[in-house]
Structure 1
Amino acid sequence: MKTRVAIIGGGPGGTTAAMYLLRQGLTPVIIEKESFPRYRIGESMTGECGAILRDLNLGMDMIENKHPVKHGVKVYGKHPWFLPVMARTPEGKLMDQTTWQVRRSDFDKMMLDEAVKRGAILVHGQATDPILDENGKVTGVQVRLADGSGMMQIESELLMDFSGGATFLATKGVTGPKYLGNYDRQIAIFSQIENGIRDNGEARDEQNGNTLIFYKQKYHWAWWIPIDDKVTSVGVVTPAAYFMEQNETKEEFLKRELHNIHPELTSRIPDVTLVEDTRVIKNYSYQVKQFCGEGYMAFGDAHRFVDPIFSFGMYVTMKEAQLAAPYVVKYLNGELPKEGNPFEEYQVMVEKAIDVLEDALDGFWEHPFAFAMLVYNRYVDQMIDIFAGRIYENQPSEAVVAFRKLLKRERTYDSDIYSVPIGSRYHADRAPIWVDDTSDAEVMTKLLNL
């Protein structure tokens, strides 16, 4: 089979890419190894993720499918705080907006069905190896067909990798190196419940479809994400060593932790009755360098993952897919640079955006008190923008600069090591994140003159 664009992965990122490319007159081939619907975690959308769905004319589908409406994220630690979902008007003013929570099995199937309905070609099979020419350029992919009939060779002008944590192109050695990060010793243990007590107030921070996060201590927290009118996704993220020390089964550990992490969570689950298998995944951060090049691009988790706490995963892969579409068209038309990486401009833009997320998340973990002060006292609007997903333009904001001061971190983008800051966990030497010996309040006062 020959195609101009082949897409590995039929999840939200791959299908978003397909639909935007179809708008440009291209007919992409989607390669998906699994049969849908299938179970996936990562059920919460940022505000800008909802905006992508509306732009794809899928807003009414989301409403008709009765996905829970999300007004924001409420974080319970020593002092609770709420970050609302808000959009920007054409004049740049903030306005109330909503997004959605989803049961991924239903949502992903809807997206794949819609992409095929609009004209994408679906191949059921598993990508096994990239096809390279004599100069090492990617020219397609080998696929083992799901029906057992053998192998298919798909020749492409561009191979788009939406394989998620499998990092297909990086694993096959097509990209640059992959660096592990500081979050590589955590695990997430999760399931679903039906008997959770949800908020039911009139204020935005009391809406029953909101994401709730319960913070116990550094790298130890729980999530609460409603995925339909009855079922709630719940999970605990903790250092792997802590889980091993408890000598419990996954289910025993999850049930106990849900009652012990935070009193506010305990009160919402008087009887922990799980209605889904208890699952465990490694929660680790990584970064793939040179994730774009002649004949290939990698997206979302296929090239970088930071931390799941504020649910950026699905958004990042969908937004990168949206932003890539015009670059793909220019590449296929021969309008991008012939020397070096034709997607260099796109790649740097993406790295800068994820750097913003990384700096905000590192600030949350390393300086939680200072983080809360930034959210509520200093840079409220800018923090709303970051957590909505407006990280690809008008950055770094003053809030991000403040985080970099707190982390004693500098970033430059004038060489091949861009996106590798001083003290970066992605540096080959694995330099640790800098943490001052003084308290958060003292650091904040010193650096920001609060």
Structure 2
Amino acid sequence: MENLKSFYEVVVIGAGPAGSSAATFLAQLGHDVLLVEREKFPRHHIGESLMPNAYWQLKRLNVIDKLKEIGFVRKHSVQFVNDKGKASKPFYFKERNSHESSVTWQVERSEFDQMMLNNAAEHGAQIMSNTKVIDILQDNDTINGVVVKQGEHEHKINAKVVVDASGTSAFIARRLKIYEPDPHLNKGVLYTYFRGAMRECGVDEGTTIILHTEKKDGWFWYIPLKDNVVSVGVVSDIDKLFRDRTLSKCGIFMREVNRCKALKEKIQFATPIANVKVCKDFSYKSKQVAGNGYVLVGDAFSFIDPVYSSGVFLAMKSAEFAADAIHKALKADDVSAERLRSFEPQLLSGMESIKKLVYTFYDNGFSFAKFLKAYPQHQDILVDILIGDVFKDGIDEIFTAMENFQSPQMEYAQA
């Protein structure tokens, strides 16, 4: 642990998009930052599709040119295919916004996350990879540091603020028992990759496609990546997805493929290039985004179902909110919960808009096509949510109108 100090202004746990973004923003603001990552990069990670409004955080992070140089597939739209195989017209983001930010990227996370980590280092953050945070340091009800372990060596590091960006591990939230699963979104995920699957040309090549399985029991994502690779994953209720204990992961995946005719056609001549992987998609939210001496960002604070690809965007946006709040708190020499939570209402408002649309997606009695036919004036708001433009007034108008189209059991979506 050479060059490791015993004190930093800020220690960030986890170097995914949330952690690397938070570390970079804080370093840009002149703070002394340590970024601790348990794995050695590059490493595989799911969550490859970006929302267009991530552009503004990426620009502030100074990585737009780097993204263009890597050559990730460009994403112009999202499209939905119902359980009968009927496809919607693609929702083209440019129709709502003519700025270059309307076109985003489909990214291989191993490359994207490595780029983000390198960028944090270039901006002055100190990086410790292959290092675990094994405990937090507390003084009464204030977190003031962490205990890290690299190999057999442990080290205590004090900090004015600890940022938890540990992803779905939710390191601090679980330790403080402020972690709350969402009982309505108890899902499981199986995913893999194919080469040579069907893909469109031109602006439609990088379209994210969401395809329902029979009876809307689940859905597949279909995300075109570079090198003629497509990421394909299925999401469904855990009990339904794993109901047959005799089937392997591959067997379950193919059973679901056979229940989605439109997807089956897209991959019928493709070659699988990876084993089927499984992960839990337990949506959750922590009771608070910050406390005395600590802030939670990205999935360490909340995980929303991946249907609208909001994960990386919310990771970077929450990191931006957090970094600005931490900067002000450090300048005021006040790292109290009240000071550090100043951005929580705005963050929660935007996240709730996305979550409400997720709930609506899982309402089998709801039809987006019928809704937009009845309320064409709300298409702009719908696209706003799909691109991540949710941190503004006026978004809730669409959910008031949606109440007339939802099943009675979906009342919780408006809570």
The answer to whether TM tops 0.5 is yes
Cα distance, 1:196–1:54 mapped onto 2, change above 3 Å:
same
Structure 2 unaligned runs (5+)?
1-5
What's the counterpart of residue 361 of structure 1?
A: 358
Q: How far apart, CA to CA, are the structure 1 residues paired with 2:302 and 2:174? A: 13
| Aligned: 1:257 with 2:264 | no
In structure 2, do the counterparts of structure 1 residues 156 and 96 end up closer, same or farther at CA, with 3 Å as the change threshold?
closer
Aligned positions, number: 400
Q: 1 or 2, which has the higher helix percentage?
A: 2
Deviation at 1:240, TM superposition (A): 2.4
2:411 matched to which residue of 1?
Answer: 434
**Contact 1:224–1:234 (Cα < 8 Å) also in 2:** yes
Query: What is the letter of the counterpart of residue 166 of structure 2?
Result: S
1:208, distance to aligned residue in structure 2 (A)? 0.9
Shift of 1:342: 1.9
User: In structure 1, what is the Cα distance between the partners aligned to 2:385 and 2:99?
Assistant: 13
Farther-moved stretch of structure 1 (6-15 vs 46-55): 46-55
Amino acid of the structure 1 residue aligned with 2:80: V
Alignment partners' CA distance in 2, 1:10 and 1:368: 40
**8 Å CA contact 2:190, 2:233 repeated in 1:** yes
Partner of 2:238: 240
- The residue number in structure 1 matching 2:180 is 178
Instruction: Tell me how far apart the structure 2 counterparts of residues 336 and 373 of structure 1 sit (CA, whole Å).
Output: 51
C-alpha distance in 2 between matches for 1:337 and 1:105: 34
Worse-superposed segment, 236-245 or 33-42: 236-245
- Name the counterpart of 1:225: 223
1:349/1:406 CA distance change after superposition, 3 Å = farther
Letter in 2 for 1:80: A
Secondary structure, counterpart of 1:277 in structure 2: coil
Contact 2:10 2:32 in 1 (8 A): yes
AA partner of residue 173 (structure 2): A
Aligned to 1:110: 115
Whether the 8 Å CA contact 2:242–2:252 is kept in 1: the answer is no
Give how far 1:261 is off: 3.3
Cα pair distance change 1:265/1:179, threshold 3 Å: closer
Match of 2:46 in 1: 41
Shift of 1:403: 3.9
1:128 maps to 134
Taking only aligned residues, the RMSD between alpha carbons, in angstroms, comes to 2.5
- Identify if the C-alpha distance between structure 1 residues 47 and 128 changes in structure 2 by more than 3 Å, giving closer, same or farther: same
Q: Read off the aligned partner of 1:150 and give its amino acid letter.
A: H
In the alignment, what sits opposite 2:268?
A: 270
| Deviation (angstroms), 1:88 | 6.8
Residue aligning to 1:428: none
Aligned to 1:209: 206
Task: Supply the distance in 2 between the matched residues of 1:180 and 1:385 (Cα, whole angstroms).
Answer: 24
Q: State the alpha-carbon separation in 2 of the partners of residues 355 and 243 from structure 1.
A: 27
- Residue in 1 aligned with 2:143? 138
Note the C-alpha offset of 1:197.
Answer: 1.1
Partner of 1:166: 169
Give SS of 1:392's match.
coil
Gaps of 5+ in 1: 410-431, 437-450
Residues 38 and 105 in structure 1, CA contact (< 8 A), matched pair in contact too: yes
Change (3 A) 1:374 1:153: farther
Which amino acid counterpart does residue 384 of structure 1 have in structure 2?
V
1:216-255 per-residue CA deviation (whole Å, 9 max, x = no partner) reads 2445011111121311111111222233334311112223
- Once residues 27 and 86 of structure 1 are traced to their aligned partners in structure 2, the CA distance between those partners, rounded to angstroms, is 39
SS at match of 2:120: helix
Contact 1:221 1:261 in 2 (8 A): no
* Residue 312, structure 1, aligned to residue 310, structure 2: yes
Partner of 1:154: 157
Report deviation, 1:60: 1.7
Once residues 235 and 113 of structure 1 are traced to their aligned partners in structure 2, the CA distance between those partners, rounded to angstroms, is 29
User: Residues 46-57 of structure 1 correspond to what in structure 2 (within 5 A)?
Assistant: 46-57=51-62
Per the TM alignment, residue 385 of structure 1 is displaced from its structure 2 partner at its CA by: 0.7
Contact preservation (8 Å) 1:191, 1:235:
yes
State the Cα distance separating 1:95 from its structure 2 match.
8.0
Aligned residue type for 2:339: P
TM-score (structure 1 length as normaliser)? 0.83
Give the residue type in structure 2 aligned to 1:181. Answer: P
Conservation of the 8 A alpha-carbon contact between 1:33 and 1:126: yes
Deviations 1:86-108 (A, max 9, x none): 4876xxx8888200001111111
Q: Could you tell me how far apart the structure 1 residues matched to 2:365 and 2:143 are?
A: 44
CA shift for structure 1 position 364: 1.9
Deviation at 1:163, TM superposition (A): 0.7
Q: Secondary structure, in 3 states, of the residue corresponding to 1:5? A: strand
Over residues 5-55 of structure 1, what are the superposed CA-to-partner deviations in whole Å (9 max), with x where a residue is unaligned? 110000111111112112211131100010001010000000011332233
Q: Hey, what's the Cα distance between the residues in 1 that align with 2:195 and 2:407?
A: 44
Cα distance in structure 2, aligned partners of 1:435 and 1:115: 40
* 1:271-310 Cα distance to aligned partner (Å, 9 max, x none): 3531012110011111210231110010121121221111
SS in 2 for 1:10: coil
1:9-48 to 2 correspondences below 5 Å:
9-48=14-53
- 1:3 corresponds in structure 2 to 8
Q: Which residues in structure 2 correspond to 1:391-402 (within 5 Å)?
A: 391-402=390-401
Map of 2:78 onto structure 1: 73
Is the contact made by 2:143 and 2:292 (CA closer than 8 Å) also made in structure 1? yes
Do the aligned residues in 1 keep the contact of 2:145 with 2:162 (CA within 8 Å)? yes
Structure 1 runs (4+) greater than 6 angstroms displaced:
93-96
Corresponding residue of 2:3: none
Percent identity reads 28
Q: Does the 8 Å CA contact 1:75/1:212 hold for their aligned counterparts?
A: yes
CA distance in 1, matches of 2:56, 2:230: 24
Q: Cα distance 1:265–1:177, how it changes in 2: closer, same or farther (>3 A)?
A: closer
* Paired residue type of 1:342: R
Distance across 1 between alignment mates of 2:60 and 2:290: 26
Match of 1:429 in 2: none
1:401-420 equivalence runs, <5 A = 401-403=400-402
Which residue of the partner structure matches residue 339 of structure 2? 342
The Cα of 1:257 is off from its aligned counterpart by: 2.4
Contact 1:356 1:391 (C-alpha < 8 Å) held by counterparts: yes
Counterpart AA for 2:91: L
Alpha-carbon distance between aligned partners in 2 of 1:87 and 1:388, rounded to the nearest angstrom: 11
CA distance in 1, matches of 2:272, 2:412: 39
